[in-house]
Amino acid sequence: MTLLTSYTVPGLHVEDHSTVVPLDWRDRTPGEGFTGERLSLFYRVICAPEHVHDDLPLLVFLQGGPGGAGPRPLDPSSDGWIAEAVRHFRIVLPDQRGTGRSSHVDGRVVAQMTGAEGSDYLKRFLADSIVRDFEHLRLTEFGGAKWTTLGQSYGGFLTLTYLSLFPEGIVASFTTGGIPHVPGNARELYEHTFPKMETKTKAFYERYPEDAERLAIIADRVANESTTLPNGDPLTVERLQTLGSSFGMKPSFERVHWILDGAFAAGDGSASESSRLTDRFLFDVMTATDSHPLYWPLQEFIYANGELDEPIDWAAAHVCAAMPQFATDSRPLMLTGEAVFPWMFSQERALLPFKSAVDQMMQSTDFGVIYRPDVLGRNEVPLQAAVYYDDMYVPSELSLDTLSRIGNSHAWVTNEFEHDGVHGDVVFRHLFDEALNRGDLAGLF
């Protein structure tokens, strides 16, 4: 392994590593040498200080996203699953290609490419490439030792790709809020999630009725007056609606409520059509609606499996347009969730360089294979999935349908947690104990 440095944070021993992988995995095999353009793949290995010299089994964390870097723990309890996992495992935290300290992709990189070049390049940052990176890492840097996987959100999608392509590399898998519909497509997904977005918005207004008035006044204001966020992006009604993107997590209702609470400058800050919007409010909206550079450009393509029957063609936008309650002039204003729209690539400076490439991808039907239903059907790797019944991003009804057709899979269905439940101290411990008691981890402990 290429060790860059080692150090400690409170309660954790940390090693930073880097290796190289091919940009394009087509016609290449993980574990073998390769030529051509390379990417750096950065990963951390963490363990409890008392286990530094112990021969522990490996657990690799498959980060959510798309476009999400691995966790940067402050201590074992800062990301709840880590505190339990370091009791049993040596943990590998990769920065997926394009993120974190791996070869980084943002607008400056894509701006140097034509639309066709950018489209082909961005396709190299989806699950088929990410999983091959991890399998190459396992084979070349960890001596081919099998590992356990833990996939959060999009990491669950990656888990099914891993189980489809390289099940021989995995001892057992855990997923939290991340079982996609297989087979499935982006439009089907949004036909399930937009009604959930509406339900979440109504629940938000029931909890904080005054915020319906606040949002209506703000939406009318920005629709009729030019309003600019601190980074120069226009504040539009469409962007205001994306405040609902976090409504599938806790305590997002409270976070949005406090943003709106400080919106108006005059008097005691009560909602007022004549009061200007505060600078703090504009900053908070900018921050709350910002995202990692690859998150929106890749959002709909995480559902693209192999050769498509038809282009994705802005699936969320089409579903949203068919639901008049989400119109920008509808009141009360409905907020949108994890959904990408064409206007983002015209209004948001960070996304402008991606526009041509994403437009081309939206009309493409040629993608890598990420799921093999036949392989999943005869899967033998124990898969333990936490399915959140009220999940706004990954509908539980679709997850359970998928799991019904995956061999050796087990679902724990709960409404106690939202999509981010793994970050507490209960979910991973529950999954681990179930797998241990079932004998799925025999030979490891």
Give yes or no: residues 375 and 326 share one domain: no
- 366 carries an active-site annotation: yes
Residue ending a domain, choose from 334, 362, 390? 362
Is 443 a domain residue? no
430 noted as active-site residue: no
For residues 13 and 34, membership in a common domain is answered with: yes
- Note whether 106 and 137 are same-domain residues: yes
Please write the tens of the pLDDT for every residue from 352-391: 999 999 999 999 999 999 999 999 999 999 999 999 999 9
Same domain, 16 and 156: yes
**What's the CA gap between 32 and 40, in Å, rounded?**
16
pLDDT of residue 129: 98
Residue ranges of E strands in 207-302: none
- Give a yes or no: residue 444 inside a domain: no
Residue 2's pLDDT is 82
Q: At what angle do helices 355-362 and 115-122 cross, to 10 degrees?
A: 70
Question: Same domain, yes or no, for 159 and 288?
Answer: no
In whole angstroms, give the CA distance from residue 317 to residue 241: 13
**Of residues 75, 313, 366, 433, which has the active-site annotation?**
366
The 8-class DSSP code of residue 251 comes to T
What's this model's pTM, rounded to 2 decimal places?
0.97
Amino acid, single-letter form, for residue 7:
Y
User: Which pLDDT score, from 0 to 100, does residue 1 have?
Assistant: 63
- 71 lies in the same domain as 194: no
13 included as an active-site residue: no
The verdict on 172 and 34 lying in the same domain is yes
Give bridge partners of residue 206 from the DSSP assignment: none
Among the options 102, 103, 119, 153, which is catalytic? Answer: 153
Q: Which residue's entry shows tokens 């938000």?
A: 204
Q: Are residues 276 and 295 in the same domain?
A: yes
419, 420, 423, 440: the catalytic one is 419
Same-domain status, 13 and 145: yes
Are 335 and 201 within 8 A, CB to CB?
A: yes
Q: How far apart are CA 210 and CA 277, in angstroms?
A: 16
Instruction: Note the pLDDT tens digit of each residue in 290-301.
Output: 988 899 999 999
Count of residues in the chain: 445
Q: How far, in Å, are 38, 139, 420 from residue 216 at the CA level?
A: 50, 55, 29
110 and 216 co-located in one domain: no
Q: Which one, of 62, 27, 56, lies nearest residue 43 by Cα?
A: 62
Domain region containing 392: 3-183+371-438
Judge if 253 and 384 occupy the same domain: no
Residue ranges, the chain, pLDDT below 50: none
Together in a domain, 343 and 400? no
Q: What is the CATH number of the domain that holds 421?
A: 3.40.50.1820
Domain boundary among 332, 362, 392: 362
Q: How many domains, in total, are found in the chain?
A: 2
Of 311, 330, 362, the domain-final residue? 362
